[in-house]
Amino acid sequence: MKRYLKWSIYVVLMVVVLTAVMPVRAEAKLNRPEKVKAILGDRTVKLTWKSSKGAKYYRIYQYDMKKNSYRRVQKTTGTNFTFRKLKCGVSYRFKIRAYAVKKGKTLTSSFSKVITVLPKPVVRKPSGLKAKAEKDSISLSWDKAGGATGYSIYQYSESRNKYIKIASTTKRNYSVKGLKAGLTYRYRIKTRKKVDGKIYYSKYSAIIEAKVPKAQKKGKSTLKKFLETALQPVGKTMYVWGGGWNEEDTGAGTDARTIGVSPEWERFFNKQNSSYDYNQTRYQIRDGLDCSGYVGWCIYNIMNTSSGKEGYVMKAEEMASDFASRGWGQYVGRFSVKDYQPGDIMSSSCSDCGHVWIVVGACQDGSVVLVHSSPQGVQINGTVDRYGNTSSEAVNLAAYYMKNYFPKWYKKYPNCMRGESYLSHYAQMRWDLSGSSVMTDPQGYRNKSAAQILQDLLG
């Protein structure tokens, strides 16, 4: 009997012990969070981890330096959490624990590994960097970088074989002055951002380079020579998209850097009829000229006496401002154009046009005779008058000279009228005729009407 009693007591004790131990074993089965990672943002950190099987939620603990211990800061049922508005340059330490509830009891895992993060602000590098070279300077401009407090400009130094910081600015443009003509300069920019009293920098922007133009010989050409040159391709040159550009479509090609009219242009013209569609001949760059290729060719032929030198072909909308920046004349914005004088170069300044043309002369009724390369080729045209009338003095003059001096062309393409947009959508470059620049006017063309100039040039 005593033996049986002892055995019973033993069994009861074993049951009690096992019952006490089982929750501990159950708790031990809840794995701690693994693969804890931190994704840094702009003064933020996103913690992510692999889920623990059976976990109902997680608690995130952050180290408190003052108390030298971890404190519970966040509860989440997901496997990620983002902390915001953190201080830059301050070290943060986190660890995570999984929780589950079974039979009314809370089970916990052990802590994950500690992860340490050092938040930094996101400083976006500048984009859209542009450079415009003038006679002794280069103007840089770029797009705004979000949150920037300033920008640092770096110029490449050949002697030191690295980029040197030359300036800081809070604006989105900067002009580098005192540069040498004929040299190419390279630049790149960093964004600055001040956060919590400390300055942070972005990565470098893309590199941009620009060549400072060489000073042109004073009095190199005359207004009459310029207009004579502009008339040379009339009646023998078709409009070809890309004509005058190089194969890379980045600037002047061979034809726009050649003295005289290419015989290939007239050969190609003779094969065409009134149904010519320039969309079918795109980038046949040796067969004709587009609008900017034509104006670039004109400029080259008055600035040079031999072929193969640096050209003047660029986007149509850039020509007036670019030529003015070289010191050749005065730039007038689209909305400030008041009149038209012989030789004025007119660049489109709206997305609808994308064109450039040369003024031959103005008429009493406000209409303008012009020469350009349009879808109907290089020809003399006239605009409507100041009231929009299509039978203007300029249109009649253009039709007369095209019909009588270029009859073969006129028979194919008799339309010589250009609309009101030619008088309202274009910026202007007006030549400096003072004798201090490349152009002079000994024949007094600036004081002549369109009719007088055409009479002098063509008879």
pLDDT for the residue 62: 96
Among 296, 302, 290, smallest CA distance to 319 is for: 296
Q: What CATH number is attached to the domain comprising 140?
A: 2.60.40.10
Is 4 a domain residue? Answer: no
Give the CA count within 13 Å in the CB-facing half-sphere of 167. Answer: 14
Q: Residues 160, 308: one domain?
A: no
pLDDT for residue 251: 94
For residue 258, pLDDT beyond 80: yes
Angstrom distance (rounded) from CA 95 to CA 84: 17
Structurally, how many domains does the chain consist of?
Answer: 3
- 349 and 444 in a single domain? The answer is yes
Q: How far apart are the first and last CA of the chain?
A: 147
Q: Are residue 107 and residue 135 in the same domain, yes or no?
A: no
When pLDDT is averaged across residues 348-376 and rounded to a whole number, the result is: 93
Q: Rounded CA gap, 120 and 105, in Å?
A: 41
* Residue 363 in this model has a pLDDT that exceeds 80: yes
> Got the DSSP string for 165-179?
EEEEESSSEEEE-SP
Structure-derived torsion over alpha carbons of residues 379, 383, 389, 393, reported in degrees to the nearest 10? -80
Helix, strand or coil, per DSSP, at residue 330: strand
Last residue of a domain, one of 117, 137, 162: 117
Confidence at 16, pLDDT banded by 50, 70, 90: very low
> Domain end: 177, 194, 212, which one?
212
Please state the rounded mean pLDDT for residues 136-144. 93
Candidate ranges 78-87, 188-197, 293-302; pick with highest mean pLDDT = 293-302
pLDDT digits (tens, 9 = 90+) for 226-242: 999 999 999 999 999 99
Average the pLDDT over 178-199 and give the result.
91
Confidence of residue 113 (pLDDT cuts 50, 70, 90): very high
Q: What are phi and psi of 329, to 5 degrees?
A: 180, -165
Find the radius of gyration of the CA atoms of the chain. Answer: 38
Domain assignment present for residue 19? The answer is no
Of 53, 88, 117, the residue that ends a domain is: 117
Which has the closest alpha carbon to 371: 351, 345, 352? 345
Overall average pLDDT of the 337-356 stretch: 91
Q: Are both 43 and 137 inside the same structural domain?
A: no
CB 418 within 8 A of CB 381: yes
The answer on 357 and 309 residing in a single domain is yes
Buried b or exposed e, range 268-303, using 16+ CB within 10 angstroms: bbeebeeebebeebeebbebbbbbbbbbbbbbbbbb
- Lowest average pLDDT, out of 1-10, 250-259, 305-314, goes to 1-10
The answer, yes or no, to whether residue 218 has pLDDT greater than 90, is no
Does residue 21 surpass a pLDDT of 50? no
29 within some domain = no
pLDDT of the residue at 9: 52
Based on the domain organization, do 190 and 245 belong to the same domain?
Answer: no
* Backbone phi and psi for residue 255, each to the nearest 5 degrees, phi listed first: -65, -35
The mean predicted confidence, pLDDT, of the chain is 91
User: Which of 1-15, 20-34, 261-275, 407-421 has the weakest average pLDDT?
Assistant: 1-15
Looking at the structure, tell me whether residues 291 and 394 fall in a common domain: yes
Q: Which of 435, 454, 453 is nearest to 221 (CA)?
A: 435
CB 131 within 8 Å of CB 187 = yes
d(CA 225, CA 305): 13
Question: What is the domain extent for residue 337?
Answer: 221-458
356 lies in a domain? yes
Residue-level pLDDT at 301: 97
Residue 377 CB neighbours (<10 A) = 26
Is the alpha carbon torsion for 298, 301, 303, 309 positive or negative? positive
